[in-house]
Amino acid sequence: TAALATMIVWNADTAGDNVFISFGTEASFSGRGGIDYNRGGGLVRYNTTSDARLKTNIVDAPSASDIIDRIRVRSFDWRHGGHLDHWVVAQELYRVCPIAVSVGDDERDWSVDPSKLVPLMIKEIQDLRVRVKTMETLH
């Protein structure tokens, strides 16, 4: 027989943002992210800590072109059914962008957090826009 497990997280507040889950580490709870509902935008947000006050040496990032070029987008069939035309293999992505991969072991599968690729894509789009603008002004 199959079992279905469902977890419901409910915040009954009717004003402001609703916090569903907060993630933290350290003995004194150092916030690392969470899941909340942004009432103004009507969207659930999956948050990773990114506060400027927690950072030093903030500078513009280098080009992401080399990393983007090395990410292998694959098509494959899952062993237990299903097909994907455009996805990645965790072990391959780990060699290119380890921050996006949770490394598995004998009891846990390797997995990918695609949200960690978004800053790379934004940087690549920014760089492409500069190159296109340069080419447009030359012609």
Q: Minimal CA–CA distance to 98: which of 112, 109, 84, 88? A: 112
Q: What is the model's pLDDT at position 107?
A: 80
Give dist(CA 22, CA 26) in Å, integer: 13
Q: For 55, which DSSP code? A: -
Say whether 24 sits in a helix, a strand or coil. Answer: strand
pLDDT tens digit sequence for 25-41:
999 999 899 999 999 89
Q: What is the model's pLDDT at position 5?
A: 77
> Is there a contact between 21 and 10 (Cβ–Cβ < 8 Å)?
no
Phi-psi region of 13 (alpha: psi -120 to 50; beta: other; left: phi over 0): beta
pLDDT tens digit sequence for 69-124:
999 999 999 999 999 999 999 999 999 999 999 998 888 899 999 999 999 999 99
The distance of Cα 117 from the centroid of its chain, to the nearest Å, equals 6
Q: What is the model's pLDDT at position 1?
A: 55
